[in-house]
Structure 1
């Protein structure tokens, strides 16, 4: 009976691999379920093996539940393998590139189990404004290559009111190893500061990088913005509202691109009160300050001169609706902008927490290919 109970729990957890999480804490668990599938498969296998050394009236029921759970846990891996076979050609078609550079496969089962081989790269903390405020700091990861190198500016998430530039440093290290400088920036947070203050902070950080380009060995003709969640909204708005010289592209990890529509279609309140988040950032409801919502919607600023864009979003995102990226993708296509939309059917918000997981590997590959295309 204990085995059946545990396998029932494991089966219920495995449903998060295919269905959207209904609560905040289950959303956190769903990231682990999809991106650390092998851990849950191992647990299920151990419980299944226990059935072969004992007998009981519930043995068959438990075994069927365990097998079903393993199949569900492995579904993101299977989907990632299928998507990986199509991704290189799809990116070539979208970006107009047939690179001669040798790239590793988009997804590897071995990498999922052992991880990327990364060496520690020390970063330096720099104040990009002449003050000592935390919001004026950036972490600079120097490119592991000589000469002037492109620079990726990373903007963290956190619902515009929390988080910092220490989030998910593994990608910063990986890009540094590939030969890109990475500047992971802080910005002033809501509710004390509202749109467009974070965007202005990004411009200030870029001004600093330009002014110190010789010392930092930054190629000022090759900047790319990368943002996650709220940071993606900031990155997209900074890229589309006032494109600056040397900006070659923008990378959008599950960002809210249409703030007007987003307010009209809030997230599940058991996961996040998305309307309250927007009101805190923009100073009120859509009815109270409609112009603020339009002015903070990156989609509104897309035109025929917008920079190349990489969109990355999971269909099971329960914090920022997948529809945001569909709308942005359509607007970019209508304006003839070079872009690629990496859609991950199983993934939820924050899936890239694990670079070695199915979503983490595919998104990292897409970023690498996108950077090769727009900066070289």
Structure 2
């Protein structure tokens, strides 16, 4: 009976790889089920094998376990399908070519081979700090400015540092910034903080060895909205592009169709950030929507979003891509069919590998290929 109960629980967990998580805690479990699938597969196999050592072999439990393993494997199958098409798709979108491998089983089990990179905390304006990860190679290099997520009211520059270290090993400086948080500060305060951080980096470019003609903004979730708005709202000297990890791009539409209250009170989150309800301050919602600022001279954009996202609807990226297409902007949309919000928590998982590959190709294209 215990074995059967465990198999039912594992099967229910595996379903999170193919359906959207209905609650906040199950959303967190969904990240693990998809991006750490081998852990759950190993547990399922152990429970399966235990059936051979008990007197009453449970056929139903075995069937449920096999189904669970198949579902846990489904993100990897889907990831390999995406990986098979990704290089050519990026070749066509960016106009260059790479022989790098988007997805590797060896990386899943062993991780990326990279040198440790120590960051320096730098005060850039008042009490605001950034964490600066220097490129490991000598000389001047492009700088990626990273804006953290956290519903505009939490999080900090130390969130998800693995990609920062990876990029530093690939020859990019990374400046992960802190910004003023809601509800004490409303939009566009964080956007202004991005500009202040970039002003600091320009002023200290010589000592930090920054190529000021090659800045890139990158944000996750709420940070992606800030990064996109900073990139699109006005001309930013030296800005070559922006990377959007599952960011809300249309705040008006997002307020009209909020997330499930069992996952997050997204309307309350937006009200705290924008100073009130849509009916009270409609102009603030329009003024904070990156889709409203796309124009013919918008910088190249990389969009990355999971179709199973339950915090920031996948539709946001669909709408942004449409505006980019209409205006003829160089861009690429990495769509991950199995992935949910925060899939890149595990950089060596299927979603983490594909997004890392896409980010690196995008950075190389906008920072180096356009110069040749």
TM range (shorter): over 0.9
2:302 counterpart residue number: 310
The within-5 A match list for 1:181-260 is 181-260=173-252
Residue 56 (structure 1) shift: 1.9
Partner Cα distance (2:247, 2:33) in 1: 22
Instruction: Give, in whole Å, the separation in 2 of the partners of 1:71 and 1:265.
Output: 33
1:10-49 maps to which residues of 2 (within 5 A)?
Answer: 10-49=10-49
**How far apart are the structure 2 equivalents of 1:122 and 1:2?**
47
| Counterpart-to-counterpart distance in 2, 1:251 and 1:53 | 52
- Counterpart for residue 112 of structure 2: 116
- Listed as ranges, the matches of 1:1-376 within 5 Å are 1-56=1-56, 59-99=58-98, 102-103=99-100, 105-129=101-125, 131=126, 133=127, 136-376=128-368
Deviation string, structure 1 residues 84-140 (Cα, Å, up to 9, x no partner): 1110000011111124xx52x1011111111112221111000011x3x2xx10000
Distance 1:125 1:31 in 2: 30
Partners in 2 of 1:280 and 1:30 — Cα distance?
27
Tell me how far apart the structure 1 counterparts of residues 262 and 30 of structure 2 sit (CA, whole Å): 15
Find the residue that maps to 1:175 and give its secondary structure: helix
Residue by residue over 1:310-358, the C-alpha shift from the partner in whole angstroms, topping out at 9 and shown as x without a partner, is 0000000000000000000011001000000000000000000000100
Shift of residue 153 of structure 1? 0.2
| Separation in structure 2 between the aligned mates of residue 364 and residue 93 of structure 1, nearest angstrom | 19
CA-to-partner distance for each residue in 1:242-298, whole Å, 9 max, x for gaps?
Answer: 121110000000000000000000000000000000000001111110000000000
Question: Aligned to 1:348, what secondary structure does the other structure show?
Answer: coil
CA distance in 2, matches of 1:143, 1:186: 20
The alignment partner of 2:52 has SS state of coil
How far off its partner does 1:55 sit? 3.7
Secondary structure in 2 matching 1:232 = helix
Q: Deviations over 1:12-52 (max 9, x none)?
A: 11100111000000001000010000000000000111112
Deviation at 1:75, TM superposition (A): 0.3
- In 1: Cα distance, 2:69 partner to 2:145 partner: 39
Count the aligned residue pairs.
368
1:53 deviates by: 2.3
Q: Give TM-score, length-normalised by structure 1.
A: 0.97
Per-residue CA deviation, residues 199-226 of structure 1 (Å, 9 max, x unaligned), is 0000000000001100100000000000
Cα RMSD of the aligned pairs, angstroms, is 0.8
SS of the aligned residue for 2:69 comes to helix
TM-score, normalised relative to structure 2: 0.98
Q: Which runs of 5+ in 2 are unaligned?
A: none
1:144 is displaced (CA, Å) by: 1.0
In structure 1, what is the Cα distance between the partners aligned to 2:50 and 2:61?
A: 10
Q: CA deviation at 1:188?
A: 0.2
Alignment partners' CA distance in 2, 1:340 and 1:243: 21
